[in-house]
């Protein structure tokens, strides 16, 4: 591994790391490692104590849509390694250490075991298993203000297969959100472009007042990853089958103004 000097966008000198291809290591693995070592968001995450660069994606989304407010009750699906939950804990005041601000709660769930995060309640669970949604509702003990999902299946190497898998996870998270969100609540989820996202978008437009697709700056430019942010949940009494075309049209106009 070697380093060379470069200039950052802020005019500061910084070191760029070049990784030599080790014996037995694939060139693609070397390139991935080099990209990680030189990624400014990865470097910033280390400096600021976040568990991964994904923390900046939810930070940027919240800076735009303002859903992580003090006192909010948040469910984080697919929370490993914990960056999103770290951000949520700070912004909703889950530790109760911001004087004069309401104290929120953060409940994280993931298939993998996640190292403890102060202020968050974390559970290891396969969200697609039978009864998983009931278990999460039990841990939550009431309604949520925000449901956010960064769930993703292991990459198959086939773009369309990966797209369909992540859309299935996103749809499962959306139906869970319909059951647990307070009226006016927010749903945030990662999606991959590929064609099947239109059906999900229509479903969300029927159940939320505004729906936007956003690619935050922290998402890599060469990635098909985007995030759907649905705000203003209409409430359990106004499920999609009860909505008319006028409501759908209103949601489409609102979303167009946000994208």
Binding-site positions for S-adenosyl-L-methionine read 82, 84, 110, 126, 150
Cβ atoms of 74 and 88 within 8 Å: the answer is: yes
Cite the annotated binding site by residue number. 82, 84, 110, 126, 150
* Closest C-alpha to 212, from 241, 186, 246, 236: 186
Cβ atoms of 196 and 163 within 8 Å: the answer is: yes
Question: Which tokens hold the place of 23?
Answer: 């014996």
Question: Which tokens hold the place of 209?
Answer: 């007042």
Cα gap 51→110, rounded to integer Å? 15
Question: 216 by DSSP, 3-state: which?
Answer: coil
Counting Cα atoms < 13 Å in the Cβ hemisphere of 36 gives: 10
DSSP string covering 144-192, please? Answer: EEEEEE---PPP-S-HHHHHHHHHHHHHHHHHHHHHHEEEEEEEEEEEE
Cβ atoms of 107 and 140 within 8 Å: the answer is: yes
Of 190, 205, 210, 226, catalytic: 190
User: Active-site residue 190, yes or no?
Assistant: yes
Q: How many contiguous H segments (helices) and E segments (strands) does the chain have?
A: 8, 9
Residues marked as catalytic: 190
């Amino acid at each position: 591994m070697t380093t060379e000097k470069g200039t950052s966008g802020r005019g500061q000198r910084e070191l760029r790391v070049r990784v030599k291809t080790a014996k037995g290591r694939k060139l693609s693995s070397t390139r991935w490692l080099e990209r990680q070592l030189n990624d400014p968001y990865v470097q910033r995450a280390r400096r600021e104590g976040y568990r991964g660069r994904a923390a900046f994606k939810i930070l940027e989304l919240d800076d735009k849509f303002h859903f992580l407010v003090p006192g909010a009750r948040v469910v984080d699906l697919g929370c490993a390694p914990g960056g999103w939950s770290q951000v949520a804990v700070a912004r909703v005041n889950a530790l109760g250490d911001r004087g004069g601000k309401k104290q929120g709660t953060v409940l994280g769930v993931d298939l993998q075991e996640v190292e403890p995060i102060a202020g968050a309640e974390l559970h290891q669970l396969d969200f697609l298993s039978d009864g998983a949604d009931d278990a999460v509702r039990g841990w939550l003990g009431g309604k949520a203000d925000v449901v956010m999902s960064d769930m993703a299946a292991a990459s198959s190497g086939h773009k369309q297969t990966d797209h369909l898998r992540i859309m299935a996870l996103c749809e499962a998270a959306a139906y869970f959100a319909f059951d647990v969100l307070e009226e006016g609540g927010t749903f945030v989820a990662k999606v991959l472009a590929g064609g099947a996202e239109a059906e999900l978008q229509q479903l969300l437009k029927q159940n939320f007042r505004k729906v936007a697709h956003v690619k935050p700056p922290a998402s890599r430019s060469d990635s098909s990853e985007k995030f759907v942010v649905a705000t203003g949940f209409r409430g359990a009494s106004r499920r999609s089958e009860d909505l008319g075309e006028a409501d759908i049209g209103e949601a489409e106009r609102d979303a167009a103004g946000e994208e």
